Every structure is written in structure tokens, then in C-alpha cells.
Amino acid sequence: MLQALIFDVDGTLADTESAHRAAFNLAFAEEGLDWVWDEALYTELLNVSGGKERILHYWKSTRPGMVELAGDGLRDTIARLHEHKTAAYEGMVNDGQVELRPGVLDLIMAAQQAGLALAIATTTSPVNIAALLRKAMGTDWRSYFGVVEDASTAPVKKPHPQVYLQTLQRMGRDASQCLAIEDSANGLQAACAAGLATLITPNRFTAHHSFDAALHVVPDLQGVTVAHLQAWHADRV
């Protein structure tokens, strides 16, 4: 029987990626870099989970001989870029430029009323999660989720299942009792590797991914009820 829902954040709870891309570009400009990530490039870079990891991957692929910038070590520079990017993203969220995807808030409320446990399993930073959900759900957003696992607690990024395995352990639930909700192939792979049935809600950055292993795929959560989730979960092989 379905007892818990585990949500990814970026791309799943909200269409965050356009704001993330804009924030990366602002950070690059602030550091005097000529890097500009357009939508096509950023869509490819999303195959690399984690903001710092994404910067490092791009740096190595385009400037393999560069090891220092402005006298700072590579890792220190990436950390500074990511700090600028995080601040820019938080400002965009606070300005109302990022909203929850259709049906997300209704499903969260309905699931809580139905007695399902709720958790977050993401590889984004706790600052990004708090900015998004504080704006969308209020200052008590954390009370809705019994467990929140993020980049600070699960540093090994998706598609590795670490974040889901730790979420299940902290929840005290077996994977067979839970349903993961994701938007990407990396997220799906991570959830499946942890033994979780997974509902996919793709977005324009992930619509081209393969979701063959998903339990079910829907355009978004608009109109998706707890009864739907229970029925899909019960029908899994």
C-alpha cells in the first residue's frame, strides 16, 4: 500500500531551470567570464547533476588547459561562481519569477490530508529549496515534509541513488511503500536504483529523455489525485 511520496525539486516541483540558467549567466558576467549558456547548451549540461559539477564539466570541456583564474584555485573559483549564482537565483524566486508547477501544491495538500508521509530527495542546495518553498508555501513549508535530503546531506549526485537511499532510511520506509516523483532521466535512474516506483512529470528541458522505466508519465500534476497515485502504485509489476 502506498504510504509516502518523495519529491524531487528542480523541474519537478517547479520549472526552475530557466531561472537557474539566467542565474548562472549573471554569475559568469559578475566574474568577468565570457561564458553564456543558451537554452540548447544548458539542456545538454543538465545531464550533469549539481551546479558546481555542471560548471566544472563545462570548464574542463571548453578550456581544458585552464587551471586558475584571477589567482584563485579552480575549486575556489567554482565555489565563488556558485555562490553568486545561488544569490541571483534566490533573488529571482523572491521576485516571483519561479512558481510551482500546475497541480503540485494541490497534490501536496491532498496527500498530507490523506495521511501520506511526504519527503524531498534532491541534489540541489538547501538554500535553493528554502527560497522556492518559502515563497510558494510560506515560512512553515518545512512542516509538510518529514524528511528533506539535499546536496548538503547527499553529496553524491543523481543518477546515483544515495539521496533516495538516505531518504528511505530516515523515513523508516521500505521502497515498496513509496512513490518517487521526478522529471528527468537522471532522477528516474536514481529512484529506480533505490527500488522506487517513479512517476515522471517531464518539462521542456527533459521531454526528450527516455522514461521507459517509469511507472507512469504525465505532463504535470494538474488533476492528479491521491487516488490516481494509489491506483498506479498498486498496479506496478
Cβ pair 208, 223 in contact under 8 A = no
| Annotated catalytic residue 8 | yes
Beta-strand pair 72-73/216-217 = unpaired
From 8, 15, 150, 183, active-site residue: 8
Answer yes or no: 10 catalytic.
yes
Please identify every residue annotated as catalytic: 8, 10
